[in-house]
Copies of this chain bind each other. A is one copy, B any other.
Amino acid sequence: MSTQPPKNSANFKLDRLGALSDGVIAIAITILVLGIQVPSPHKIPESKLVDYLYNSIDPMIGFVVSFVLIGTYWLEQFMIFHFLTHTTRMFIALNGVFLLFLSFLPFPTGLQAAYRNDELAMAFYGFANLLCSLSLLWIWLYASKDRQLIQPKIPQETVNRMTKRLIVPPLFSLLAIGCSFISISLSRLVFLAIPIYHFSYYVADPGVHPVSESESSA
């Protein structure tokens, strides 16, 4: 049942679901900046600008880290979509779970800026990221189980490599949560390892280097 719907309609659905996901991710990544907060232009600022900027360094670092992480999740979701033939109701629901966690990220990012020396804030931030990367992994495990949604032309080896790749971010998030109780800066560095790992592993990506095993490239 419903395993191979007509091509056009399936692509259309994927496109539309991809476009909606892109919209949500683009908004989440762009409203992060609202978390840094500016003083009202209608009051005499309480602190001198130098102090204000100094005080903003932590929120700004948090902004950059979250921006880079959301950008990485976007690239991973984008790649998953490239492997697929069609969607199912379960896939749409799992994608919704991912978007729910992702659009939640501005909250722990903001908390982490306000409670900057509190390891619990960093751990909560790590937990929210863990949920994002786990839901991405779940989407992929569902889609690649018995290759039910995977395009036939994608070699199994590429599928396996993608699986390995998507297992890494949740592990890093767990590690970062652990590190947050030692040092908040260390925990952040662990998070920044996720995009670095992602980019160094890029070769496996059929959407960007189109099908690395095949004729034309990589």
Give me the interface of A with B, judged by CB distance under 8 Å.
1-6, 9-10, 13, 16, 18-20, 22-42, 45, 47, 49-50, 52-53, 55-56, 58-60, 63-64, 67-68, 71, 74-75, 78, 87-89, 92-93, 96, 99-100, 103-107, 110-111, 113-116, 118, 120-121, 124, 199, 202, 207-210, 216-218
Inter-chain contacts of A10 with B (CB < 8 A): 210
Inter-chain contacts of A105 with B (CB < 8 A): 33
Bound-complex Cα distance A52 to B60 (A): 22
State the Cβ distance, A43 to closest chain B Cβ, in Å: 8
State the Cβ distance, A122 to closest chain B Cβ, in Å: 10
Interface of A is mostly: helix
Inter-chain contacts of A22 with B (CB < 8 A): 16, 19-20, 23
**8 A-B pairs with the lowest CB-CB distances in the bound complex, closest first:** A38-B110, A23-B26, A41-B113, A27-B30, A9-B210, A39-B114, A2-B217, A41-B59
Bound-complex Cα distance A171 to B9 (A): 32
Inter-chain contacts of A18 with B (CB < 8 A): 16
Query: B217 to A5, Cβ gap below 8 A?
Result: yes
- Extra pairs beyond A20-B22, A30-B103, A38-B111 (4, CB < 8 Å): A19-B19, A31-B34, A39-B114, A41-B58
State the Cβ distance, A14 to closest chain B Cβ, in Å: 11
Partner of A32 from B9, B93, B103, B121 at Cβ < 8 Å: B103
Bound-complex Cα distance A103 to B118 (A): 27
Residue in chain B with minimal CB distance to A212:
B2
Partner of A107 from B2, B33, B100, B217 at Cβ < 8 Å: B33
Partner of A39 from B42, B45, B63, B74 at Cβ < 8 Å: B42
A31-B34, A36-B107, A199-B89 known; A216 and B23 CB under 8 Å?
A: no
Query: B41 to A31, Cβ gap below 8 A?
Result: no
Bound-complex Cα distance A173 to B111 (A): 33
